[in-house]
Amino acid sequence: MKILLATYWAIPHLGGVWNYMVQTKGYLEALGHEVDMLGYGADNTFIHLVNKDRRVKKEDLMPVLHANINPETYPEIFANKLVEYTEFQRYCYELGAACLGLDGYDIIHTQDVIATSCISRVKPPETPLVATLHGSVAHEIRHQLKTIHKSPNSYMAKAYYDELESMGGHSSDLTIVANNWLKNILEDEFAIPSEQLKVMHYGYNILAFDSGLNERTDVVKPEGKKVIMFSGRLVELKGVQYLLEALAKLRKSNRDWVCWIAGDGEIKRELVIQSKVLGLGDSVKFLGVRDDLPALLKQSDIFVLPSLIENQPLSLIEAQLAGNAIAVSDVGGLPEMVEDGVTGLLFPTSDSDKLTDVLLDLVTDDELRTRLGTAAKEWARVHWDLATGIRKLTDVYESLIKKS
């Protein structure tokens, strides 16, 4: 098969969507398929086929859009800055995809609702379109409209992103989701027919992860300390601000730990300042972007994910594979990945007091920590097998191609 993996987001980038695309492409090519990847460039100034080094510049497309979309013809678009930005971005993406050409693919596999709705409008009618959704854009925006995107007319942006979610959900021949949390949102809030949805978790390249466990790293676990680990994007929705609050409270009763925070993002500077203000000192280390995460997780004892909203994060999968004791917030798809008291511990999102209690238990109770870590590892090595995930995915491809 000739397959196009497409996303509206910038690629390559840090995060689960890009990792999923790279792993899927690699395994599909190992099976003899041909795979291209489409998305915005890293700085959002062009749309490109990553592996073909073909691109269309955004600046070449914008005059066409400005000639047709302006405050006189569509004043409501320009009433909210987030809506205005997204409208031009998604139409540029759609035009860019059409210019690069969507002919010749046996199937197109999109990775988000915006790419799905855009590509459905410009692809050949006979080409099947399957979408894998890695989260709810509408729900993430609802959080951000209270903080970083807050404005006097935030309600317009909420309605706009709700419509994007609905359009994307209805535009594919089949939409794959990783869990029942997202399936229920699409069915209940956006009226996506249940027969158009399929719950199918991702696979993960366990062999590649294992090969990194023994790689050399310049970060060394302090003697006599437990390591609490977070890895991911440093953005508001990951909830690291609540982790730092919890660590400051934990430090008052127990100091037999250090916390490693791996990753980068728009609020890193704020988090570093917060850590200093809370007096955490050397107890917290910001490690930046890492290419040695398996080796870091091998040294870690506890993995924490305090997200405000979450789908199926690869960072949690990696921590499970490494045998860390897991502590995650009780949001989104996380309770479907962690069985409370069996393969990890759940705590209420945004509740630093409860998180402090969980961390104290995991730092001080060796038997609990070992039991949870072992159970998580055993479950993960069966559940996240990539070969099984890709086999299910190719079955979906072949079924849709036959129907077309």
Which residues lie across from 108 on neighbouring strands?
A: 4, 129
In tens, the pLDDT along 94-108 reads 999 999 999 999 999
CATH number at residue 359: 3.40.50.2000
Q: Mean of the pLDDT values across residues 230-238?
A: 96
Domain check: are 189 and 255 in the same one? no
Distances 51 to 22, 130, 390 between C-alpha atoms, Å: 11, 21, 20
pLDDT at 79 over 90: yes
Whether residue 338 sits in one domain with residue 299: yes
**What average pLDDT does this structure show over 376-401?**
96
- 114 and 226 part of one domain: no
Tens digit of each residue's pLDDT (9 = 90 or more) over 50-74: 999 899 999 999 999 999 999 999 9
Over the stretch 260-311, which tens digit does the pLDDT of each residue have? 999 999 999 999 999 999 999 999 999 999 999 999 999 999 999 999 999 9
pLDDT over 80 at 139, yes or no = yes
Same domain, 19 and 102: yes
Instruction: Give me the number of domains the chain comprises.
Output: 2
- Say if residue 119 is in the same domain as residue 177: yes
How confident is the model at residue 144, as a pLDDT? 92
pLDDT band at 13 (very low <50, low <70, confident <90, very high): confident
Q: State both tokens at 85.
A: 């930005």
Based on the fold, state whether residues 176 and 282 are members of the same structural domain: no
Query: Token digits for 185?
Result: 């949102």
Q: How confident is the model at residue 148 (pLDDT cuts 50, 70, 90)?
A: confident
Q: Are residues 290 and 238 in the same domain?
A: yes
Calculate mean pLDDT across residues 330-336. 97
pLDDT at 15: 76
Quick one: 101 and 240 in the same domain?
no
Q: Work out the average pLDDT over 172-181.
A: 98
Domain region containing 25: 2-203+385-403
Q: pLDDT tens digit string along 26-59? A: 999 999 999 999 999 989 999 999 999 899 999 9
Q: Is the CB of residue 2 less than 8 Å from the CB of residue 109?
A: no
Whole-number average pLDDT of the chain: 96
Q: Are residues 50 and 18 in the same domain?
A: yes
Please state, for a pLDDT cut of 70, what percent of the chain lies above it. Answer: 100
Has residue 360 got a pLDDT over 80?
yes
pLDDT at 290: 94
What pLDDT is recorded for position 404? 86
Residue 347 and residue 319 in one domain? yes
Residues 239 and 323 in one domain: yes
Q: What is the mean pLDDT of residues 185-213?
A: 95
Identify the pLDDT of residue 305.
98
> Residue ranges of the alpha helices (H) in 177-313?
180-188, 206-212, 240-251, 268-277, 293-299
**CA 254 to CA 360: how far, in whole Å?**
8
Residue 113 has pLDDT above 80, yes or no: yes
Quote the tokens at residue 220: 């060394």
- Tens digit of each residue's pLDDT (9 = 90 or more) over 298-316: 999 999 999 999 999 999 9
Quick one: pLDDT at residue 16? 84
Q: What's the Cα-to-Cα distance from 31 to each of 26, 28, 75, 177, 207, rounded to whole Å?
A: 9, 5, 50, 23, 17
Whether 130 and 224 share a structural domain? no
pLDDT of residue 242: 98
Radius of gyration of the chain (CA): 22
